Copies of this chain bind each other. A is one copy, B any other.
Amino acid sequence: MAAPTAKEKLLAGSLSLIREQGFAATTVDDLCARAGVTKGAFFHHFDSKDALGVAAVEHWSRSTEALFQAAHYHRAADGLGRVRAYLALRKSLIRGQIPEFTCVAGTLVQETYASHPAIRAACADSIFGHAATLVDDFAAAIEERGVGGAVTAESLAAHTQCVLQGAFILAKASGEPRRAVESLEHLERYIDLVFNVKQRLRSPKRRRSP
């Protein structure tokens, strides 16, 4: 495998720095120091820090897309099984330090949505593009289990990304990754309830005295 180029090192370093300290707090000097490249190399590849911001999100989308495309959850036989396996995978990815498992696009869009339209657009593509990869599985689950009403595959897919993004914020605020896992468990329970999977939600006391 060829050694990473300056551009690849800048992109990889930007994903770490943005997840550690956000975009505005990250300077071109920080990016060059993390990547171990010169400022000349930076401006050879990127016209500005904003251009790097857009490229960083696109790089993030490509690398996460590859990870999820190669994942085993697609192998489940039915739509609900694939959705549940996807959520189990997302829970398993919440480990290690917070910058290792949180989302570049969610962090970036929070601070740039109004001031940097091109970055906002790249973040929207990343978040809703990833949500779109779940729509077929949700649609299959809806068909298989005869669910309808106000619940659509598109809105369930977007909601999974909502809960993931919110879960990362709870983890950051508390410093406790388990807070994120707990919210994903609520999302798993919601999806099971929507698709009529049997739940143990009665209190034991009430079950003994009906």
Which residues on the B side are within 8 Å of A98 (C-beta)?
Answer: 113-114
A177 at the interface (CB under 8 A from B): no
For this chain, the copies found in one complex come to 2
Check B147 against A159 for contact (C-beta < 8 Å). Answer: no
Check A159 against B183 for contact (C-beta < 8 Å). Answer: yes
Knowing A169-B109, A189-B194, the reply to whether A115 touches B20 (Cβ < 8 A) is yes
Check A173 against B25 for contact (C-beta < 8 Å). Answer: no
Check B107 against A111 for contact (C-beta < 8 Å). Answer: yes
Which residues on the B side are within 8 Å of A111 (C-beta)?
Answer: 21-25, 107, 110-111
Q: A98-B114, A127-B169, A165-B165 are in contact. List 9 more A-B contacts (CB 8 A).
A: A22-B112, A25-B115, A105-B173, A113-B175, A147-B203, A149-B203, A163-B163, A165-B166, A194-B201
Q: A residues engaging B (CB < 8 A)? A: 20-25, 98-99, 105-107, 109-115, 120, 123-124, 127-128, 142, 146-151, 155-156, 158-159, 161-167, 169-170, 172-175, 179, 182-183, 185-186, 189-190, 193-194, 196, 199-206
